Amino acid sequence: MPSDARILIVDDHQDTLYALESALAPLGYRLSRATTGDEALKQVLRGQVGLLLLDVRMPGVSGLEVVRYMRRLEQTQHIPVILLTGFGPDQELTSAAFGLGVADLVTQPVDPGVLRTKVRHLYDTHLRHRALETEVRELRALLDGRDDPGRPAAPRVDARVPPQRDTAARRAQDRT
């Protein structure tokens, strides 16, 4: 994932969007916003989203429904999500959210310093993970003998098969 990936903030209240953007602005990351679950999904599917801050309860498509959909698609299933709720502790919501693999569930109002720390960690970790995935793909392409990732791969040697030992000793065993 390129380093120009955005943090997408999703909430149906403009004042909450503004507050979250203000809290995250000191980090210097690119921010974008959406006011509905449908709009959030469209932006996520277009790519370049490295983290999603998502309100749980919105009219139409809820935050949990957005996460459910994202987790079914390979291109979006690893994007970290911080769910935001203004309704206080709710065991059912907590179970559902973490069952879907969200990174965190934060109750509003949010402490800006704490939010910045969580966002910085999750966003940077996600970008490093994506960079490592890209590097692994490139190294596999080199090992497969292809400089062009579009070219078919050469047969892979199974690294788990031990190299043959002394062939003279093996021939002597075969004769007995």
- Encode pLDDT of 9-63 as tens digits: 999 999 999 999 999 999 999 999 999 999 999 999 998 899 999 999 888 888 9
**Separation of alpha carbons 3 and 128, rounded Å:** 9
* Nearest one of 135, 134, 118 to 7, comparing CA atoms: 118
Q: Please report which confidence band the pLDDT of residue 8 belongs to, taking 50, 70 and 90 as the band edges.
A: very high
Q: What is the mean pLDDT of residues 122-133?
A: 88
Rounded Cα–Cα distance for residues 105 and 99 (Å): 12
What per-residue confidence (pLDDT) applies to 108? 87
pLDDT attached to residue 2: 44
Neighbours of 86 (CB within 10 A): 14
> How many Å apart are CA 12 and CA 4, to the nearest integer?
25
Is 80 exceeded by the pLDDT of residue 4? no
Which range, 47-61, 85-99, 157-171, is most confident? 47-61
For residue 146, the model assigns a pLDDT of: 62
- 167 pLDDT higher than 60: no
User: How far apart, in whole angstroms, are the C-alpha atoms of residue 32 and residue 17?
Assistant: 10
Q: How confident is the model at residue 170 (pLDDT cuts 50, 70, 90)?
A: low
DSSP reduced 3-state for 156? coil
Residues 6+ apart with CB under 8 A from 11: 17, 20, 33, 35, 55, 58, 84
Mean pLDDT of the chain: 83
Does residue 80 register a pLDDT over 90? yes
Indicate the pLDDT class of residue 150, thresholds 50, 70 and 90. Answer: low
Residue 73 has pLDDT above 50, yes or no: yes
Report phi then psi at 164, rounded to 5.
-70, 140
pLDDT of residue 87: 75
Q: For position 159, what pLDDT does the model report? A: 47
